[in-house]
Amino acid sequence: MNTTELRQKDADGVATEVKALQKAHFGLRMQKGTQQLTNTATLSSTRRAIARAKTILAEKLAAK
C-alpha cells in the first residue's frame, strides 16, 4: 500500500494496516527461520512499509 492510500484512511484504518503488516512480517520471519522463504527482499520491504505506516499514523495522531 502506498502513501497516498494510507493518507486517505483515518487513524483507525492506518492502525489496522500497521497490525496487518506486522503480522505479515512475523510470518515472513518464521518462513526465513525455517528456511522456506525464497525471496528475502520481502523482509526489508515489509519492514519499510511498517515504518511508513507508523510515520503516517503518528502524523495523524499529532494533528488531532
Q: What is the pLDDT of residue 1?
A: 81
Cell of 36: 522456506
Task: State pLDDT tens for residues 19-63.
Answer: 999 999 999 999 999 999 999 999 999 999 999 999 999 999 999
Domain count, the chain: 1
Q: Domain range holding 33?
A: 3-63
- Cell numbers standing for residue 35: 528456511
Stated pTM of the model: 0.92
Cell 502513501: give the residue: 3
- pLDDT of 27: 97
Confidence check: pLDDT of 64 > 90: no
pLDDT at site 25 = 98
Q: What is the dihedral of CA 21, 23, 28, 31, to 10 degrees?
A: -170
Query: What CATH number is associated with residue 28?
Result: 1.10.287
**What's residue 37's pLDDT?**
94
Reading the block at residue 56, the C-alpha cell is: 503516517
